Amino acid sequence: MKRVRYWVEWVLVSFFGRLVQALPFAAAQKIGDIAGSLVFWGDVKGRKVAMANLEVAFGSALSLNQRRRVAQRSLQVFGRNFLELFWTGRLTNSNVDQFISFEDPQRLRELVESDVPFIAITPHFGSVELAGTLIGLKGRPLTIISQPFKNQRLTPVFRELREATGHKIIVPDNAVVHLLRALRSGKAIFLFTDLTLKLRDSAVIIDAFGLKMRVTQIHAFLHQRTGFPIVPWVTLPRGDGSYVVRILPWLRFPSDTSYQEITQICWNQFEPIIRENPHCWLWVYKHWRYRPSVPGPRYPFYANRSTQFDLEVESQQNPEKAKILSEQIREHVRWQRQHE
């Protein structure tokens, strides 16, 4: 039965992809808006997560109706992002600037003409798929991690779309090894920096909207191992349906900078932009999976207390105790695995 369902999904996605590509760009975006609204009203659990995230992030700065509008618009943005990926087959180097372009041409030249590999980073913000197409068409292909679908028939469909402009897609298994190899061979890579990880995964804890958030540290690790710069960027809507890619200042850190410090500074580039354009961030995602046990700011309803999380926070706040606390963390992880 599952095999039949997967085949039907593949047929529908393949047909729908061709249909979207045949539509005008504005029509594809409109369908994305409708799809996002349907998900917002149909996915009760997801809507509850988004509303809770917005409440703890903005507090009284946003009313209930404003939070609802931002949450709905956020899903519309990502509905557009999904459909725009299918539309990228119509983009070429000669027409892409009509739909998305770089805010600063000088930054574009630095990006494309530099012989130095770099680590491109962004959160789940705005039209990431179109931005990737733009960067590829302008002559700087990236190595990108992409999670394979449970339906294996769909994985090559999306891989082909993303690799059409020269990018190389890799799976998460042994991703760090592949990314390190890509950088050392002179290639640029791309990473999302707002991926919150479960306790079994190596991560660091940063402050985001005044709350503790456990996120990936891969970009910090790769930077310290290679010395290659980190290049933060975001995609912003222009208001007419097109987009602009803003490349932020390149980041380099002394060799003794901790992964947590690097990750925090990288996040600090994005948070003010998210505050100014909250509808562009993916609020339906569980950004704050864990919360400290000590009294403090309000966290979303889904955030869990964890001894390991508390130890990780304490280790980062008290570097002189890091060695002892790290051993306690390892002991706790071993105990947890034995009792799962």
What is the per-residue pLDDT for 49? 98
Residue 226, token pair as written in the block: 């290679």
DSSP 8-state secondary structure symbol assigned to residue 151: S
CA distance 118 to 251: 10
Q: How many CB atoms lie within 10 A of CB 63?
A: 10
The answer to whether residue 316 is domain-embedded is: no
* Locus of tokens 């899903």: 75
Q: For each of the chain's 340 residues, which pLDDT tens digit applies?
A: 667 776 777 878 888 888 889 999 999 999 999 999 999 999 999 999 999 999 999 999 999 999 999 999 999 999 999 999 999 999 999 999 999 999 998 888 888 888 899 999 999 999 999 999 999 999 899 999 888 878 788 888 889 999 999 999 998 888 899 999 999 999 999 999 998 888 888 889 999 999 999 999 999 999 999 999 999 999 999 989 999 999 999 999 999 999 999 999 999 999 999 999 999 999 999 999 999 998 888 999 999 998 889 888 888 877 765 555 555 555 555 655 555 5
The answer to whether residue 289 is domain-embedded is: yes
CA distance 234 to 274: 10
The answer to whether residue 277 is domain-embedded is: yes
The answer to whether residue 312 is domain-embedded is: no
Domain coverage including residue 269? 2-305
- pTM for the structure as a whole: 0.90
Strands 142-145 and 290-291: unpaired
The answer to whether residue 319 is domain-embedded is: no
* Cα 250 from chain centroid (whole Å): 18
The answer to whether residue 335 is domain-embedded is: no
Residue 194, token pair as written in the block: 């707002």
The domain that contains 72 carries what CATH number? 3.40.1130
The answer to whether residue 184 is domain-embedded is: yes
Beta carbons within 8 Å of 230's beta carbon, 6+ residues apart: 118, 119, 121, 219, 223, 250, 251, 252, 262, 266
Helices and strands, number each (H, E), in the chain: 12, 11
Distances (CA, A) of 163 to 126, 144, 245: 20, 10, 20
Structural domain tally of the chain?
A: 1
The answer to whether residue 220 is domain-embedded is: yes
What is the per-residue pLDDT for 337? 58
